[in-house]
Amino acid sequence: MYIAKGWLGPNIILSLNYFCKCTSTTSRPHNHLHGPIRPATKACKLARMKNSHENHYIACNLCEATCGLEIKLENGKIRSIRGDKNDPLSKGHICPKAVALQDIYNDPDRLRQPLKRTPDGWQTIPWKQAFDEVTTQLQRIQRKHGNNSVAVYLGNPTVHNLEAMLYGPAFYRTLRTKNRYSATSVDQLPELLVSLRMFGHNLLIPLPDLDRTDFLIIFGANPVVSNGSLMTAPGVTGRLKAIRKRGGKLVVVDPRRTETAAIADQHLFIKPGSDVLMLLSMLYVVFSEKLQNLGTIAAFTKGLNDIETLVQAFPPATTAPVTGIDADALKNLVREFCRADSASCYGRIGVSTQQYGTLSQWLIIVLNAVTGNLDSAGGCMFSKPAFEVVNAIRSGKKGFADGFSRVRNLPNFNGEFPVATLAEEITTPGEDQIRALVTGAGNPVLSVPNGRQLDDAFGSLEYMVSIDIYLNETTRHANIILPPLSSLERPHYDLAFQALAIRNGAKYSQPVFKAGKEQRSDAQIFLELTWRMQSGNWIKRITGWLQKEFLLRRGNEWILDKKLKQSPYFQSHDLDMKKLKHNPHGIDLGPLQPCLPGRLFTPDKMIDLAPEIFVQAVQQMRTNLLADKLPPQREEFDLLLIGRRDPRTNNSWMHNSYRMVKGKPRCLAYIHPQDAQSRGIAEGDEIIVRSRVGSVEIPASLTAEMMPGVISIPHGWGHGLEGVKLSVATQHAGVNTNILTDEHFLDSLSGNAALNGVPVSVGRA
């Protein structure tokens, strides 16, 4: 969600001048979904009937890996989905989720027309009626209660959708509301804040150069299952194994012996939430043994002495009792890391979604920097995508200048409030109370802390509209659901994930299937809503209509072509839309290259190793952590909860594919045999897991892959709520782990939810 809100602004919602210059009465009509509309002759139709076998090459847009797929059709139906061996980046890799793309397309539960909630149940309505009612109701509520009475929540799939990225921001801007929320603050907000403070732009995120590194440390990430996150690395398992094959080393630090840890050279158990202490001790060793070396970034980096002073209070022997990391093992790890020809340290969801997520992500970058492994081959580097989002999108504002939330005074970052406060902003009376909500491709009832509280809050809204393809746990509260196309019916270019790729590339995917007449694309939905919500005189209304018609006529390919021709690859690779369409497997644009200080956005063009806000936060947290108060908890909550990913699931929305949920149950609580024995729990027993905010019953699975004192429950389940229309998912409902996570347990710097390290108690049901 870090790119999903008003970021393309003037670059995409183009002026009337473009319309006048770029169209003519003699130009061929375009369909924004499928390019030029050509007359269908009888000969063409006969040829298509004979040619009943088709091959399509697309990028999978289910996760961040963006692997190339080969989809074979026979008589208009999918015969097979395989990895595209000619994709220059994924080279034939495919994971189980990609095969389920056909299940989403064919799903009888998937919505294809607007759905309206009535006293007599859900009813299908025409698109014009849906647009009329949505805009009328939103405008009515804003006239009565003010602009901020309408809120927006955007879910993770938005950044996997080209048209939602291009056209959604304009609609959300027409709402003129400060109440914006997204999955960012239950995911990667700490990384964005760290990049802003250190490099001057929240999207300038360092990436591990997996293909050239000699030593990789992974904190709190499981890329073998997730396929990578904030790191677009197709076939990541093969890339990790290749590090070892070429004589390098892979180390995983995690409270669970994950699937990634199983292929590593070394795995270190760590107490959830104590990563910040381990990293401070690692930096202590770097400086105490004189191993620091800024390398190529020395001339434009400041704060090195401040870091050296800061870490003196954290020798490994002092932090070991809290982290569980042996002091000698930590020292040896640091020495090996520093001796390697190239090395990279990477942390992800387990690091970000904890009480000290921002500090941990900051120290990971500092470790890379002070060991000479930032902006150098084999270390952590920055991508240079063909569609440049860093230059196109304004940087997040410094600090928290956008203000604070109304009820709990949580910081606003880059135009969004932490979603952990959304429920109370709905239920607490007063000025700017949220009375209506627009959700886009999100299911916060299953993904936000204290989901039961949020579920109740949604039930009290005056009006709600959801842009979504399913009637799920969240959208069941909507008054109207507007369903866009499925991923196989729309074109795609990865705006977000090419900016996070560990190797530069470009690929355009054309639709596999033509949308039905009753369906509408994201472009059609967002552009129609944008035009209808615009206020002003008749001149503005006409201008808005012309912009809408112009963008529908010229479409995605025209926008992409303009941006590609502005990139350096237009000169070096002749890269434009014509070339992309002639290369359906994608184009390799080469390995990451050093780019600093040229890409720095800080006012002084310096990397700031020691932002004052982070240094002060370390001083504030030191007493609690070293006193083993991590986190502050009542005596009965003697275990710490962490999440888990499964290779056959993708957040909450792949569970309606039978091939993804069949077989053994996956929604289980993993617990160490030692913790189970002391509680009289046997394999398969139903257990009750309680936290400050709620409790769930779930089957237990005993495994030594868990660190003692830690329990793991996977994210994205809990489909047993009344009113959900997911026929497969409800038969494999599982439990919602976010009934246990606490909306008051946050990373204090960023406001990001702390979904890992939540204090819980466990007993037999």
Pinpoint the residues of the chain covered by CATH 2.40.40.20.
632-744
Pinpoint the residues of the chain covered by CATH 3.40.228.10.
189-387+598-614
CB contact set of 592 (below 8 Å; sequence gap of 6+): 207, 209, 377, 381, 382, 383, 384, 502, 503, 504
DSSP 409: -
Rg (CA), the chain: 26
Please, what CATH class does the domain formed by 189-387+598-614 belong to? alpha beta
DSSP 398: S
- Summarize pLDDT for 43-58 with one digit per residue, the tens: 444 444 445 689 999 9
- Give Cα separations from 631 to 620, 623, 661, 674 (angstroms): 14, 12, 34, 22
Pinpoint the residues of the chain covered by CATH 3.40.50.740.
1-40+111-177+418-494+508-562
CA distance 459 to 454: 9
The bridge status of strand 480-482 relative to strand 463-467 is parallel
| The model's pTM | 0.92
Place of tokens 């979603």: 419
> First vs last Cα of the chain: how many Å apart?
38
Sign of CA dihedral 454, 460, 462, 463: positive
DSSP 448: S
Residue 145: count other Cβ atoms within 10 Å of its Cβ.
Answer: 17
**8 Å CB contact between 540 and 139:** no
| Residue 634: predicted pLDDT | 58
CA distance 92 to 70: 9
Pick among 3.40.50.300, 3.40.50.740, 2.40.128.280, 1.20.140.10: CATH of 1-40+111-177+418-494+508-562: 3.40.50.740
Pair of tokens at residue 108 = 């009888």
Pair of tokens at residue 646 = 């499964």
- Give Cα separations from 318 to 311, 323, 357 (angstroms): 12, 10, 21
Helix, strand, coil tally for the chain in percent (to 5)? 40, 15, 45
| Residue 393: predicted pLDDT | 64
Could you write out the three-class secondary structure of 249-313? EEEEECCECCHHHHCCCEEECCCCCCHHHHHHHHHHHHHHCCCCCCHHHHHHEECHHHHHHHHHH
Residue ranges in the chain modelled with pLDDT below 50? 1-50, 397-401, 632
- Summarize pLDDT for 618-649 with one digit per residue, the tens: 998 887 666 655 554 557 899 999 999 888 88
Please, what CATH class does the domain formed by 632-744 belong to? mainly beta
Q: Does residue 123 sit in helix, strand or coil?
A: strand
